[in-house]
Structure 1
Amino acid sequence: MKRVFPVPRQHSLYQPPILNPFIYHIELSVTDKLKIALASVTLVPLRLLCIFFIVLVAWPCAFLGRMCCPVCVTQEPVPNWKRHVSRFVLKTLGRAFFFCVGFIQIKVKGKKATAAEAPILVVAPHSTFFDAVVNIVAEIPSIVSRAENADIPLFGCLLRCSQPVLVSRTETNSRKKTVEEITKRAQSKGKWPQLMIFPEGTCTNRTCLITFKSGAFIPGVPVQPVLIRYPNKM
């Protein structure tokens, strides 16, 4: 038998590029620019009109949500019937909104775990405001949000209906309180809704994942990873 010696490893003449997850490079062809120009005078006005109609419907829903889910609702879980009603309303309004902005079809692979199986959903990569579509697909889990967002007209009332974990950036021990609240909910054995967390903590350009924050993993409970993919190149 002839003995074969391994070939020594060759060094590349060019260093591999270092991915910068915070820089966007968008190259639009002439066709893409024409499509954008055409959509600006045709689809955009129509979609804005539809969004305006959704906002009109959302106002009374937000008013009822404020009555059913006051500020103190973040301290104790709401009854199941309120949770189901608010979940149905938020999911319907949210799906209508995303349909208006172009999310005609949303493909889902795999099966979502229940709150008892995986109390926390970790979603990545986080790159845009539209990543909130995962919240609609995942049956409106609770999210971690700034406390100031709960005071925004309309949006704040709808946000409060999902029983979010509100983080106050003005408090010195806000990080500690947030971790304690996440741990309390994650270890409640299904009494609280699932939590959805973007562990990267910021937006990137989807070329790679950055280091996850530890908040979603401190409770020591099972988590379900959720991967977001956009079919378009932009």
Structure 2
Amino acid sequence: MESELKDLNPKPISQQQQQQQQQQQTDFPNPSTIAPPKTTIPSSSSPPSTSKSWRRNSPAYVRNDVYGTMGRGELPWAEKFLLGIALLTLVPIRVTECNDLSEEPKRPGAIISNHISYLDILYHMSSFFPSFVAKRSVAKLPLVGLISKCLGCVFVQRESKSSDFKGVSAVVNERVREAHQNKFAPMMMLFPGFYFDAVKGTTTNGDFLLPFKTGAFLSKAPVRPVILRYPYQRFSPAWDSISGVRHIMLLLCQFVNYLEVTRLPVYSPSQQEKDDPKLYAENVRRLMAREGNLTMSDIGLAEKRIYHAALNGSNNRLPSVLHRKDD
């Protein structure tokens, strides 16, 4: 990361134009996998074309609804009037589930899901009552924090020592094995990046699927893949690149929000996958990407923080943004 921070000074415009022309001449990347972009960022004085390049480099975090970047788009008065009316109404979330109704020979030890919004955990809580790994700050959230404590969730600090995460992996491994063997034990709920994140660290815009950690796959127990999608016409419920206040307000201003859930059959690992947890995790991820028409991306938290810094014009605070610690 230190070597990448050396490239923060903006290049001359002529060099940027040459790079853009070279990029336009290259072939479009393979949609099955997207490599993480280089962690460099343009200055706030860079031309508009530079910010567009960041949209190309961080596609998993780009919002495409009518409310614009970070939900700050200018709206006509008619739109504002309708939003005001909708804000006074009860906001329903209509859930459509597509389940595999065949009898499952084995009980899964974990639910494996893509991560789009904080609404994800509310759905999973109402459907499976799972235990999950979450940021430590989630325990302080109203309602969700209380429920997560009752479910025996594992709370971690994101930027913690590797030894701490090894301990968390051991706990997750034991919980998954117990849930697989005991039908009265709560199943574990695993998102990409290992845990439920209340501050959109591992969430995407819903079109991409990030890698899964191997913690849930070390137990060699079967897992249940679940794919979530939020269809929308105007506002995207995705918790990706938008402030918390704007997201909640615009979410409440919709007359109805939709959630489509696809529960895939229980995935039982082969002997080769049992011997290689990384292969197990990757095969489950590829299955979910294929069935959910999702693009696999290895983009990470650092790229997301840089993208947000570019949108907010806070380039001078980039070192503190990259090394920020979250509870």
Q: What is the one-letter code of the residue matched to 1:15? A: D
Displacement of 1:216 after TM fit?
2.2
Partner of 2:214: 214
Alpha-carbon deviation of 1:227? 0.5
1:24 alignment counterpart: 63
How large is the Cα RMSD of the aligned pairs?
Answer: 3.5
Deviations along 1:60-108, whole A, 9 cap, x unmatched?
A: xxxxxxxxxxxxxxxxxxxxxxxxxxxxxxxxxxxxxxxxx430x2111
Q: 1:165, 1:155 → 2: CA distance?
A: 14
Instruction: Determine helix, strand or coil for the equivalent of 1:226.
Output: strand
**Which residue of structure 2 lines up, in the alignment, with residue 120 of structure 1?**
110
- Which residue type is aligned with residue 134 of structure 2? S
Aligned partners of 1:28 and 1:154: how far apart in 2?
29
2:170 alignment counterpart: 180
Map of 1:61 onto structure 2: none
1:181 deviation in Å? 0.8
**How does 1:1-150 map onto structure 2 within 5 Å?**
15-16=27-28, 20-27=59-66, 36-47=79-90, 101-103=91-93, 105-111=94-100, 117-124=107-114, 126-150=115-139
The CA deviation at 1:121 is 0.4
Looking at structure 2, the residues matched to 131 and 168 of structure 1 have their Cα atoms a distance apart, in angstroms, of 20
Query: Structure 1: 5+ residue runs without aligned partners?
Result: 1-12, 48-100
Contact 2:192 2:213 in 1 (8 A): yes
Separation in structure 1 between the aligned mates of residue 122 and residue 78 of structure 2, nearest angstrom:
24
What is the Cα deviation at residue 141 of structure 1? 1.1
The 1:135/1:35 distance shift into structure 2, 3 A limit, reads: farther
Q: Is the 8 A contact 1:199 1:215 kept in 2?
A: no
CA contact (8 A) 1:121 1:225 kept: yes
- Given that 1:199 and 1:214 are in contact with CA atoms closer than 8 Å, whether structure 2 keeps it comes out as no
**1:224 equivalent in alignment to 2:263:** no
Q: Distance in 1 between matches of 2:145 and 2:188?
A: 18
SS in 1 for 2:217: coil
Q: Report the Cα distance in structure 1 between the residues aligned to 2:160 and 2:26, rounded to whole angstroms.
A: 49
**Code of the aligned partner of 1:219:** S
SS of 1:21's equivalent in the other structure is: helix
Over residues 114-143 of structure 1, what are the superposed CA-to-partner deviations in whole Å (9 max), with x where a residue is unaligned? 8x610100001x122222243144232111
Q: CA deviation at 1:27?
A: 4.0
1:195 to 1:36, Cα distance in 2 relative to 1, 3 A: farther
Residues 192 and 210 in structure 2, CA contact (< 8 A), matched pair in contact too: no
Report the 3-state secondary structure (helix = DSSP H, G, I; strand = E; otherwise coil) of the residue aligned with 1:187: helix
Identity of aligned residues (%): 23
- Unmatched 5+ residue regions in structure 2? 1-24, 32-55, 69-74, 195-201, 237-327
Paired residue type of 1:110:
N
1:183 is matched by which residue type in structure 2? N
Structure 1 CA distance for aligned equivalents of residues 122 and 216 of structure 2: 20
* Equivalent residues, number: 167
Q: Distance in 1 between matches of 2:229 and 2:140?
A: 31
Residues in 1 aligned to 2:192 and 2:123: alpha-carbon distance in whole angstroms: 14
* Structure with max Cα Rg: 1
Matches of 2:222 and 2:190 in 1, distance apart? 13
Go from structure 1 to structure 2 and tell me whether the alpha carbon gap of 1:148 and 1:25 turns closer, same or farther (over 3 Å shift): closer
Q: Determine the structure 1 residue equivalent to 2:49.
A: none
CA distance in 1, matches of 2:76, 2:231: 18
Q: Structure 1 length normalisation: TM-score? A: 0.58
- The answer to whether the 8 Å contact 1:142/1:162 transfers is yes
Find the aligned partners of 2:113 and 2:214 in 1 and give their Cα distance.
13
